Chains A and B, each alone.
Chain A
Amino acid sequence: QVHLVESGGGVVQPGRSLRLSCAASGFTFSSHALHWVRQAPGRGLEWVAVIWYDASNKYYTDSVKGRFAISRDNSKNTLYLQMHSLRVEDTAVYYCARGEVVGIIEHWGQGTLVTVSS
């Protein structure tokens, strides 16, 4: 059974950094692209970033480009999101998610809340 567990969320001041982690189990981690998707309180879903199965390609939504970095450690079955220069508008629940070949997300973590506030 696919299991994705995020950690690392919390309250942080604007301009500071935070690193999220996602521990995966129940599938061949190194065979799947992985995504971060976020959802601000009471708002819709926003795709944040993707990293290919072998980390050969990484893509970001424009609002986080240059501030966030997605990475993975296939030996530890762990996905990361390093977030720098955090802004109030980055406040959201961040979901780790497994991408499928057909272009959907079928498996999601439970999410970790990041609150950017002074």
Chain B
Amino acid sequence: QVQLVESGGGVVQPGGSLRLSCVASGFNFRNFGMHWVRQAPGKGLEWVGFRRYDGRDEVFAASVKGRFSISRDNSKNTLYLQMNSLRTEDTAVYYCAKPWIREALDYWGQGTLVIVSS
């Protein structure tokens, strides 16, 4: 069965950096572009970014463009989210998600909590 397991969350000071990981299993990871989505406490979902299956292209939400990057290691079935210049408004649960069709995401991890606070 498809499984996505995120890790790497924690508490970081404003301006700091953090790298999240997402280990995938149960499907052919190298054939799928992958997404990151976040949810601030008590708020709705916010799409963060996407990395193509071959790693050649990435797209980001305006709120994180230039600060976040996505990479992947297809040999390890792992997706990464590198977050730099973190702000308090980046505090959220971060999910990695597998696409079904276009923007529809059919499998999600359990999420990892990032808290940006001094």
A-B interaction? no
Binding site for B on A (CB under 8 A): none
